[in-house]
Structure 1
């Protein structure tokens, strides 16, 4: 389904009955990233997926997509669907957006799961990497996107998940060049949102990859403890929905049930 938001089309899906669970994908992903996860969750819940601005079937809205702007587009969808309370599950960038959404709509949150994500802002090194990537991608979009996807997996898993990675790369290439750059610029601008987790009493879960090439394992553990968040550690990389799919489904079903 399509919703118009500030003259940009936002694609979303809405299926099932029960508690509203909003699944928010990450950078270079789209709603299809949840295809293997959704069937189990949908048995007892209402599942909403949304293509973020500049990703999948959704349009761009300018040249910088801030976390607040992403959040406002999600709020437009949920308001249209008359959803008053929800559980958020955000992967990577989707986690940053979930935190921004929660900060703006605290009374609507029953639970928040950060899946391979963090409430910390970008380090200077990470910001510099995003700046370089945004320059390089303008001349070599396809190769940059494909390399970005491969770099999210624990390197020992590349052969085992060859088919899945090929499919993810194909979906990632649906992201527009403008969407790629706008999301990176927005991620560089985001601020520390530790307080969103530590100062609120809704159910909180952080899913951590022990060999995540993007997020430092020990930092993620410390973050969970510092913010009084429940946490689960998987043995692999940044793509827990692929690398640890069955275990993640079990964890998410249990988390949603507790919210």
Structure 2
């Protein structure tokens, strides 16, 4: 079973971290929300304290593992907050387990599948990780923050780097291969009946928002927020994201 931590009381929010992250990325939000919600932070397969036993961890398999945690905690339904890769897992949950999904919050994520260029990039990243993981982390981490934010978020960038460097290489490659194979789940934008909260960084260099924004329908259950930031909205625009989560 996945490693998880639970704190607080009320409606359940499950936080799903991104690639090269772990449950500790959510500590500040946990502290500010635990008086209002039951907060479940977990480590997805191959990250943090959760082992991986496969060469490829698909988003569907990760979703199954998350449901196993909910079953263990006797939670029938939850809101899933997913950052980047965690958002891909959240969309899989909304697609495969709609009866267990209250709302989904996509932080710097997308319902789209990888295009061919991105698929090739995933494989190259795995090869780089196997040769020199530190190079991969040092090269990729600064780009997570918008260029105009990097000077002000030096400590946060170092925090994210330190987490990334603890990720096992087998978990890194298994996640890259799983993200590479995920399907387009844009149909949930129409089919899922719970709330869909979408947070976009207009300067995001990791998940380009341009095409995704054209696909988002104007429906009552869809709430779109656009910020002048990069891929780390829950750090770069912390107070705004906190208020979104408090409003759910």
Cα distance between partner residues in 2 of 1:225 and 1:211 = 22
Unpaired runs of at least 5, structure 2: none
| 1:226, distance to aligned residue in structure 2 (A) | 6.6
Partner residue in 1 for 2:107 = 115
Give the secondary-structure state (helix, strand or coil) at the position aligned to 2:82.
strand
Work out whether residues 95 and 192 of structure 2, in 8 Å CA contact, stay in contact via their aligned partners in 1: no
2:196 match: 204
1:82-104 deviations in whole A, cap 9, x for unaligned?
Answer: 00011111000000001112222
Which of the numbers 53, 74, 78 marks the counterpart of 1:86?
78
Whole-Å Cα distance in 1 between the matches of residues 78 and 158 of structure 2?
33
Of 129, 132, 141 in structure 1, the residue corresponding to residue 133 of structure 2 is 141
For 1:126-205, list aligned pairs within 5 A: 126-205=118-197
Q: In structure 1, what is the equivalent of residue 223 of structure 2?
A: 230
CA distance, structure 2, for counterparts of residue 68 and residue 218 of structure 1: 25
**Cα RMSD after superposing both structures:** 1.3
Show the counterpart of 2:94: 102
For residues 199 and 73 of structure 1, the distance between their equivalents in structure 2, rounded to whole angstroms, comes to: 23
* Corresponding position of 1:243: 236
**TM-score of the pair, normalised by structure 1:** 0.92
Equivalent position SS for 2:50? coil
How many angstroms apart in 2 are the aligned matches of 1:110 and 1:221? 23
Q: Is the 8 A contact 2:23 2:42 kept in 1?
A: yes
Instruction: Note if 1:24 corresponds to 2:16.
Output: yes
Q: Deviations for 1:93-139, whole angstroms, at most 9, x for unmatched residues?
A: 00000111222211111111111000000011111111111111111
Alpha-carbon displacement from aligned partner over 1:15-72 (angstroms, at most 9, x marks no partner): 1110011110000000111111111211111010110111011111211001111111
Paired residue secondary structure (1:52): coil
Corresponding position: 1:45 with 2:37: yes
What stretches of structure 1 move > 6 A for 4+ residues in a row?
none
- 1:198 touches 1:226 (CA, 8 Å); kept in 2? no
Unpaired runs of 5+ residues, structure 1, are none
The superposition leaves residues 196-217 of structure 1 with CA deviations (integer Å, 9 ceiling, x where unpaired) of 2211211111100011112233
Aligned length: 247
Cα distance in 2, alignment partners of residues 169 and 117 from structure 1: 20
- How far, CA to CA, are the matches of 2:246 and 2:214 in structure 1? 25
How far does residue 173 in structure 1 lie from its aligned partner after superposition?
1.1
